[in-house]
Structure 1
Amino acid sequence: MNTPRPFLALFLLPLPMLANAQQPSVSPQALNTQAMAAYNSKDFATCARLLGQLVNDPALKPGASLVYNAACCQSLAGNPAAALGLLDRASTIDTISATDIEADADLVAVRALPEWQALRETLIQREDARLAGLDRELRKELLARQVLDQDIRKRATAAGNPPPKALMDEWARIDHDNTKWMKTVLARQGWPGKSLVGKDGASAAWLFVQHADMDKPFQKEAIKLLEAAVAKGEAEGRDLAYLTDRILAGEGKPQRYGTQYHAIDGKLVPQPIEDAEHVDARRAAVGLSTLAEYDKVMQANYRPAPAQAGAAAPAKPD
């Protein structure tokens, strides 16, 4: 799956809530978890089937990333024509970069189709239309830094526990550099919101603050700007929930949304939660799944992680 797009490689993707209160026999989060497990075990036919159920469910409104992932699994399962159609569909939901597709090893079979060039041109036109009026250079820098943020975490986790010191030093350097850079961005113009850098750029900005654990005063100043951006519709409430929990947990205080986990005696558990009885209501208010569903995702994707800030569990698997 396409690593440059947010969270595709390391974290499970956000899934829309059901349009009605009726609970399915298997939840969307559970299907997504099963699909990602199938992908990781190279059972691409199962991955394609499970994600197909999600993207074709009339009760859901799948996001572009979910549809994109379904395209990857279809391509790997030997159905490039189906994958091509899904990529076309994903690009009508949100920006899908032709450049990213051309760099994605999962989509080699799609790029071999004679129809790919026509879709490529369509993707470029749609991307240009969506980016009209945005600060393209700032968005490009945000997304490029996001790739570095995600790549080092993936490499460090894959290298074993503990990973080589050189990787940990690189991790610290990348986080420090992104924090320093974000300070200049926020000081210059405030929170880079959706209307300035697009939804993906605004999410990348959140990621760098989320990972600025070495500078807690900066996190506490930045969250004020994020709160204002969320109130104006310029950033996601779920991002605010994750950063709120990150700051509280970092100060040794109970979190509010249950997004932060840690390992105790080798078992992954939520850090203490304030008013835990009503946590699902707070989660629903910002578009998060129930804590029980979130826990299933966390447990399914947990790998013992290196002793680095934010590494005990995926930062945003919901």
Structure 2
Amino acid sequence: MDLEAMDSRFDISGDESKVFELIEDLKSNSTDVQRAATAELRLLARHMENRMVIANCGAISLLVGLLHSTDPKTQENAVTALLNLSLSDNKIAIANANAIDPLIHVLKTGNPEAQENSAATLLSLSVTEENKLQIGRSGAIGPLVELLANGTLRGKKDAVSALYNLSTLRDNKLRIVQAGAMSHLVELMDPATGMVDKAVAVLANLASIPEGRNALGQDGGIFVLVEVVELGSARAKENAAAALLQLCKNSGRFCSLVLQEGAVPPLVALSQFGTPRAKEKARALLNCFQNQGYLHSGRR
């Protein structure tokens, strides 16, 4: 039977017996049986009404165990089932099943689709504060940065979104910088990637620590930030201005470099026509230039 036909067959709300059968199959010593069971659970978990049934029947811990399967398809099915389950109210249950280390294992060793779906699962889990801390401490950031550098387009999008969630915690900011993310984030500032808004939001978070500012200044970040202030979306302009403000108020050298990139005209425009937050950041930057003697009074 093909997967689409199987997909349309099962709506298991109110019918736990099917799930219990599949759970027994997950415990099988047969790779073929495990592969088939994870494939069915993967499909069932696509439907919101099935997710709590699957979770309540005890499938999560078994699926987590199969993230270490040596069969690539079983591993891919298991991680994708967990991703689908995480999209409903199962985030804490998945984390409590000690899923984070096995998800990192898949991120490092899985086939491309398994890696993408592992990143997407970590992204889904990273919306809760306690998971952010655990994910950062567990060593996920290095593999996420690797996916950011070398993954598929979808993999990169999930990686940058996960890094954005993780970068709201100070300890994670340092880990992200130390993992070498800055140069890859700067590359994603190319509008052709479709990821400028998310990449610049991560940069704005990283610019709040000295290590982030130094990396941003060394990896060509100033030029692209000024470009985004001029040409980016409203949200991207806000975050680019916020990142530049962090650079300039902490370093006269960076202030000079920002001015050399021609930042004043787009900042003047942003101070007049941007969102309220963008106007505030742009005006603060222009004041910063003036206070450090780079602009004459009245230039604004």
Per the shorter chain, which TM-score range?
0.3 to 0.5
For CA contacts below 8 A with separation 6 or more, give which structure has more relative contact order: 1
TM-score (norm 2): 0.33
Which is greater in Rg? 2
Q: 1 or 2, which has the higher helix percentage?
A: 2
